[in-house]
Structure 1
C-alpha cells in the first residue's frame, strides 16, 4: 500500500513497533544535511570514501563515520572491488524515500499546493 492511497483502510491500524522504530532511525539518518547529500549521490552511482569525500567537500574520516551510520540503518550497502570498498544506496525504496523528502521540501519552499 502506498501513501497516496486515499481509502483510509490502510491507515486505520498502526504498523508494528519494530517497523516504526526502523523507519524512525532511517528518518533520523536523513535529518543530517551531509548524510542527505551523500545519500543523494549514492542513489545515482557507487562511490568509494575518497571520491565521496571530494564530492561533498568533507574529510574522509567524517565520510566514513556517516557511511557507517547509513549502513547500520540499512540505507546504504557496500561491495568490495579489489582493494576499494564501493558504497551505494540500497535499492529503489531508498531513492524513492529521498526523492519524496526532496519533493516535499521543494513544495514547502516554493509554495506548490498539495493535491490530496
Structure 2
C-alpha cells in the first residue's frame, strides 16, 4: 500500500495481487463465525459508556445497585436496567446477601479485557 500526501495510508492496494501464503495463514487461523458473533455481541454490550462506568466501578470491588447509583450519580432504576444487560451478557454477576444483591465483574477474562481496553486508551490519551 502506498502513502498519500501528508503521510496517511490509502485503504486499498495500488496493485491487485494475492499473497497466497498470507491468505492461507489467515484462512487456517480464522476463528469460528459463531464465536466471532458472540464476541461482537459482548463488545456491543460493553461499548456503552454507562455500562463501562459501572464495570469500572465494579473492578474495585463489589457494589449493590444503590452503591452504584451513588457512585455514578444515576437513578437506581437506570443502574438496575444496565446491570440486567450486563448480567445477561455475563459481564457481571450478583451475590445475594439477605435483601441486597452485590455485583462484581463476572470473571478474570472480563477484568483483563477491561484492563487492556483502558490501558490502550490511556496510552493514546497520554496518561
Smaller-chain TM-score bracket: 0.7 to 0.9
Q: Does 1:50 align with 2:66?
A: yes
User: Using the alignment, how far apart are the partners of 1:106 and 1:11 within structure 2?
Assistant: 33
Question: After the TM superposition, which segments of 4 or more aligned residues of structure 1 sit over 3 Å from their partners?
Answer: 9-12
CA distance in 1, matches of 2:65, 2:109: 23
Taking CA–CA contacts closer than 8 Å with sequence separation of 6 or more, which of the two structures ends up with the larger relative contact order? 1
What SS does the corresponding residue of 2:74 show, helix, strand or coil? coil
Pairing of 1:1-116 with structure 2 (within 5 A): 12-110=28-126
What is the count of residue pairs matched by the alignment? 103
| RMSD (Å) for aligned C-alpha atoms | 1.9
List gaps (5 residues or longer) in structure 2. 1-24
Tell which structure's C-alpha radius of gyration is larger.
2
CA contact (8 A) 1:26 1:73 kept: yes
Unaligned 5+ runs, structure 1:
1-8
